[in-house]
Amino acid sequence: MVIDVHNLNFSFGSGSLTQPVLKGIDLAIRKGEIVLMTGPSGSGKTTLLTIIGGLRQASNGSVVILGEQLVNSNEQTKVKIRRQTGYIFQQHNLLKSLTALQNVCMTLELQRDLTESERQYRAQQILAAVGLEDRMHYFPEALSGGQRQRVSIARALAGRPKIILADEPTASLDRQSGHDAVEILKQLAKELNTTILLVTHDYRILDIADRVVELEDGLVKAVEHQE
């Protein structure tokens, strides 16, 4: 299992203001699997994603990612998991003072064994793969929403992560470009055998999933197998 969450509880706030959000989550995802997660607003999808990605500290239950226990883990363990995880956000979250190419390179600069020219080459390759070979030197503000989201997909994939976590990546895109972006993501992920956990409200893209899970009221409500 690449992602193995067991009996995870999580609450915001403390004392009388405690607000339980996750109430005993069980979720296991195999290597190379593409899992979509849906659920009503406020059900805790983003919260779960940030815990799995090592961005938020959980202190209850068990969250084992790539063999590392994240519950009550230290900063080093979380940084280690973050480096093996590609994040795609609802907003593209690109660095506005960097070009598309430089943005993608930011992922690769974490890998110190690469040379600068290898970084450039790999970034160009992945940008070409998302169809942006003629937009490499554009700043984010000069790109369309769909193009930006494709850059952020390229950025997430450039480091060849073992896991991709995506939080409503198509929310700001129209039907066609949303579907295109996810299709590219799926295709590249399958090539690299990357595991994907993707949160979405967008029923138009459910067809790319191997499996769909639904989060409701802090629990994994239904697990539905495709085909």
Ligand X SMILES: Nc1ncnc2c1ncn2[C@@H]1O[C@H](COP(=O)(O)OP(=O)(O)OP(=O)(O)O)[C@@H](O)[C@H]1O
Binding footprint of ligand X on the chain (CB under 6 A) = 12, 21, 39, 41-47
Which residues lie across from 145 on neighbouring strands? none
d(CA 146, CA 185): 13
Select from 27-35, 90-98, 172-180, 219-227 the region that touches other proteins (CB under 8 A). Answer: 90-98
- 43 binds other proteins, rule: CB under 8 A: no
Q: Between the CA atoms of 170, 171, 176 and 181, what dihedral angle is there, to the nearest 10 degrees?
A: -10
- CA angle centred on 209, ends 205 and 212, rounded to 5°: 95
- 180 binds other proteins, rule: CB under 8 A: no
Token pair for residue 212? Answer: 């769909």
- 46 binds Mg ion, rule: CB under 5 A: yes
d(CA 175, CA 219): 29
- 10 binds other proteins, rule: CB under 8 A: no
- 82 binds other proteins, rule: CB under 8 A: yes
d(CA 160, CA 155): 10
Interaction site with other proteins (CB under 8 A): 46, 49-50, 53, 55-57, 75, 79-80, 82-85, 87, 89-90, 93, 95-98, 102, 106-107, 109-110, 112, 167
Interaction site with Mg ion (CB under 5 A): 46
